[in-house]
Amino acid sequence: MRSLRGMRRVLLKDRCSIEAASMASASEARKILQSQESNSRSINHPMALRRRPRLKPPKPARRLPQALIIGVRKCGTRALLEMLYLHPMVQKASGEVHFFDRDENYALGLDWYRSKMPLSFKGQITIEKSPSYFVTPEVPERVRAMNASVRLLLIVREPVTRAISDYTQLRSRATPSVPAAPPASHPPPDATKPFEHLAIAADGSINADSDLAVPRVSAPMAGGVPAGEQLLVVNGDLLIEDPVPQLRRIEKFLGLEHKIGRRNFYFNETKGFYCLRNDTTDKCLRETKGRKHPRVDPAVVTKLRRFFVQHNQRFYELVGEDLGWPED
């Protein structure tokens, strides 16, 4: 009996050992299967076979301008360019390139012109300004040959105010301490004479030969481009008085988000116009801007404004907008 009990104990012990071993083996097997399934899922997943691409940082490049600022002297082309440069999506050429209006520059080709442009990222707008583009006959065709959809910002001012401002600048250059301006295609007015003597001839008529008096309403860049499509007329007088509304129109015209606001300007009492402000610095246009105008005989101002009425009307029709300039 004792030996029988001992044998039973041995058999029970062996059975437990076998079952334990069997359970251990099953557990290990499950682990192996789970590991294989996990590996199989990770290997067979379509994304597991692809390497994550390395994103290259965007590189800036020099691009031909998508917009040009045009206008005659003292209309505010420089001020407009600097104001638009406050926008993070705008890059500007640092100086007047005179590519389209000077034969010697145009002969150098588009690669040369591109080399004069700033570095910009994709999506930014490059802008160049050369006021004489507005008055040079060859310019429109040359611009179209570069980019038939280029945007034109034509900035204008009330003609008599502009003429007085132009005279003020020319008079400052006539002093010995100021370097002479580069020679123009025709001699500049003699700014040592009073404004009235340049604008009004000896017989009392308007001096049609004076650059200061005759408007450029027939300038080629203003014709053939419907306003609102590729050409936007910017009121330079309103830009000086309150820049933000004019800049909002331009942002919309260029397809830009509204980023330039009143925080970007402060009024300079000494200069009498708005200066620029961004996140890091304040900036006013150079000392040659904002000169005090000489007093002009009111009777001469009235006579000039009456002379300009018919020319202004032609200009309004040309650009499809009445700017409301004074008529007397």
The residue range of the domain holding 151 is: 61-174+188-319
CA angle 22, 26, 28 (to 5 degrees): 115
H or E segment to which residue 222 belongs: none
**Residues annotated in the binding site for 3'-phosphoadenylyl sulfate, as ranges?**
74-78, 157, 165, 274, 289-293
Amino acid at 286: R
Closest CA to 153 of 319, 328, 270: 319
Tens of pLDDT, residues 249-270 = 999 999 999 999 999 999 988 8
42 occurs within a structural domain: no
Note the pLDDT of residue 42: 45
pLDDT exceeds cutoff 60 at 177: no
Contacts of 55 (CB under 8 A, 6+ apart): none
Check: CB of residue 208 under 8 Å from CB of residue 214: yes
Residue 27 inside a domain? The answer is no
Angstrom distance (rounded) from CA 238 to CA 249: 12
**Residues of each annotated binding site:** 74-78, 157, 165, 274, 289-293
pLDDT of 27-38, one tens digit each? 554 554 455 545
229 pLDDT band, cuts 50/70/90, is confident
Q: Residue 325: count other Cβ atoms within 10 Å of its Cβ.
A: 20
- Compute the chain's Rg from CA coordinates: 37
Q: Is the pLDDT of residue 179 over 60?
A: no
Task: Please give the model's pTM, rounded to 2 decimal places.
Answer: 0.74
Q: Three-class SS of residue 146?
A: helix
Q: What is the pLDDT of residue 191?
A: 61
Range 138-143 contact pairs with CB under 8 angstroms and sequence separation of 24 or more: 138/100, 138/101, 138/103, 138/106, 139/100, 139/101, 139/220, 139/221, 140/220, 140/221, 140/223, 140/224, 142/100, 142/106, 143/68, 143/100
Has residue 275 been placed in a domain? yes
Q: Of 37-51, 140-154, 218-232, where does the model show the most confidence?
A: 140-154
**Structure confidence at residue 126 (pLDDT):** 98
Asked if the structure places residue 326 within a domain, the reply is no
The number of domains in the chain is: 1
Q: Examine residue 5 and state whether it is found in any structural domain, yes or no.
A: no
Q: Among 26-35, 102-111, 184-193, 255-264, which stretch is predicted with the lowest mean pLDDT?
A: 26-35
Give the residue-averaged pLDDT of 279-306: 81
* CA 233 – CA 242 distance, rounded (Å): 16
> Mind telling me the catalytic residues?
74
Q: Is 13's pLDDT higher than 80?
A: no
Instruction: Read off the pLDDT band of 176 (50, 70, 90).
Output: very low
What pLDDT score does 213 carry? 52
Determine the pLDDT at residue 48.
47
Q: Which residue has the higher pLDDT, 234 or 9?
A: 234
Q: What is the CATH number of the domain that holds 240?
A: 3.40.50.300
49 lies in some domain: no
Q: How confident is the model at residue 327 (pLDDT cuts 50, 70, 90)?
A: very high
Domain assignment present for residue 92? The answer is yes
Q: Look at residue 182 in the predicted model and tell me its pLDDT.
A: 45
Measure the CA–CA gap between 149 and 135, rounded to whole angstroms: 20
- Pairs from 200-203 (Cβ < 8 Å, separation ≥ 24): 200/300, 200/303
Task: State the average pLDDT over residues 130-142.
Answer: 89
